[in-house]
Amino acid sequence: MLPCFAPPDTPALPLFPLTPERLPAWRTAHPAGPFVAATGFAAKPGETLLIPGESGLGGALVGLGEGRESAWSFGGLPFALPPDTVWRLELDGAPEPAALRAKAVLGWGLGAYRYARFKAPPRAAARLVVSAADDPVLAEVEVTHRVRDLINHPANHLGPDELAETAIALAGRHGASVRVVRGQALAEGYPAVAAVGAGSARPPCVVRLDWSGPAGPEAPLIALCGKGVVFDTGGYDLKPAQAMLQMKKDMGGAAVAFGVAELVMRAGLPVRLLLLIGAVENAIGAHAMRPRDVIRTRKGLTVEIGNTDAEGRLVLADLLAEADAESPDLLLDFATLTGAARIALGPDLVALFARRDATAEALVKSGDAAEDPLWRLPIWSGYASWLDSEVADLGNVSSRPHAGAIVAASFLDRFVSADRDWAHLDLYAWNDSARPGRPEGGEATGMRAVWHGLVARYDHGRPIPPSRSPVDPAVTPR
């Protein structure tokens, strides 16, 4: 159990989540009502008020605001409430208390996260009492902490080998098989991944994880592909210094793919799973790819390098080709792929590209419900010719300045069979500033949206309780 939570038998103070509509009735019924009225507490979203009791602190109120109740109303509580205190939710009179409780546990757990590998947090988080009924939400919180930790690790402590070790540990926790491809086998089987990593002193690798699941060999196959660029200098098309500051997060797609895979395996979703991670560093060196180089891909297509900073799509090209050859029921890829997606949608909205309308609509719906929003953009065939090359089957970038995220998706589209149910998530994996439930730093953007979409698709929306086995600490990279 994460340290921000407490077992159900722990003595605890009452925490009352209130909307402005329910506040007057609570003030009338509770002995602290006159005190609350005198403070001007208005139950605005996330507004917090400590209330007195007979022997000192008697509890606390948290505001939910008008309209839709949000997990983020609870996100500031772990550090807004006094340290070393324990709290229990009081939901009497709340409509849909189970749904509100799930939001509270999620917001509390995500808000309690701090990256503590090299510096201890300034204070301990307050704790919330949870029970076995909260297990599905606790799984999402615990896996989000793992994903955030991975993204937050500095690049000198998380290279391609360490990313592979994370996959090996994940496989070990859930009885999956794992294979790591390096060296000559990588150059022959994943030539585009090898080309991206050729300039780094830390050799690239591809990790393949296979999990059979509880439903047997006839279960539908889900394939997940993650861009694991542990640091991106831009290569010879060097990024400016300011743009390089956050490039330890360029493996965020791989981290989110790890998170989705862990949730699938931990819950025993009735599917088979294939996870492919391209672990690589895009650096400058004697063997680094150059502008106008032509490289081969696993699919056999040749690519002219118009810009060495458009490397993530090259990594995904090889992974998608392998995953597509397995004929999955659903193929998903995750990548911090383009700045253009962030210009269009900002940091919070994941750019979703999907072949099938039903798949896109289901993922958007699940993202909205999970407060992990996706926004669909088109794979616009009219821009496909922008990737034409005079010397290769296609280029990795367009010479035009427009629609960069769509052009990148169009590139990936060439490596997936036309009839495949495929979706591409161009995500940010980072919080630029701290907000309740979303501390500054690495973020599992899109993970909960996809997870809830998979549950709805493959288990008819039934919440699946996760394993009761102890949660191992995340792998600590060297």
The catalytic site residues sit at 239, 313
State the CB neighbour count (10 A cutoff) for residue 359: 18
Query: Three-state secondary structure along 125-148?
Result: CCEEECCHHHHHHHHHHHHHHHHH
Question: Which residue has 């998530």 as its token pair?
Answer: 425
For residue 28, count CB atoms less than 10 angstroms from its CB and return exposed for 0-12, middle for 13-18, buried for 19 or more. exposed
Burial 259-276 (b: 16+ CB within 10 A, else e): bbbbbbbbbbbebbbbbb
Distance CA 70, CA 265 (A): 28
Distance CA 67, CA 387 (A): 46
Overall size of the chain counted in residues: 478
Q: Tell me if residue 270 falls in helix, strand or coil.
A: coil
Tokens (6 digits) for 226: 């993650």
Q: Is the Cβ–Cβ distance between 396 and 409 less than 8 Å?
A: no
For residue 64, count CB atoms less than 10 angstroms from its CB and return exposed for 0-12, middle for 13-18, buried for 19 or more. buried
Query: Quick one: which H or E segment has residue 342?
Result: helix 339-345
Distance CA 92, CA 297 (A): 60
Distance CA 331, CA 224 (A): 6
Outline where DSSP puts E strands in 200-263: 205-211, 221-232
